[in-house]
């Protein structure tokens, strides 16, 4: 599992897809989610605007598993 560090309270699932190179542009997020299964915290998610927060785990089959870590946050 790889960590993705963010500087805000949350980012969107579309931003995660772009940061992980699953898609090359933000405009591809809707298409990608309609064609591929993506999991957030073990549940299927298809909303590109889904807020992803500190501690959430995003699993993109064929790309990888990613844990969101807010810079400065302590768990």
Q: What is the rounded distance in angstroms from the CA atom of residue 23 to the CA atom of residue 43?
A: 20
- Candidates 3.10.290.10, 2.40.170.20, 4.10.520.10, 3.40.50.720; CATH matching 2-70: 3.10.290.10
Q: What is the rounded distance in angstroms from the CA atom of residue 39 to the CA atom of residue 8?
A: 21
**Predicted pLDDT at 59:** 97
β 2-6/64-70 pair status: parallel
**Predicted pLDDT at 13:** 96
10-48 burial string, b = 16+ CB within 10 Å, else e? ebbbbbbbbbbebbeeeebbeebbeeeebebeeeebeeb
Q: What is the mean pLDDT of each run of 10 residues along the chain (75 residues)?
A: 94 95 90 96 96 97 95 63
**Predicted pLDDT at 73:** 56
Domain ranges of the chain: 2-70
């Amino acid at each position: 599992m790889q960590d993705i560090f963010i500087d805000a309270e949350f980012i969107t699932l579309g931003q995660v897809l772009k940061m992980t190179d699953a898609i090359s542009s933000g405009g591809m997020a809707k298409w990608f989610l309609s064609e591929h299964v993506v999991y957030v915290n073990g549940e299927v998610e298809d909303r590109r605007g889904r807020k992803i927060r500190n501690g959430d785990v995003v699993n993109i089959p064929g790309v990888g598993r990613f844990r969101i870590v807010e810079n400065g946050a302590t768990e």
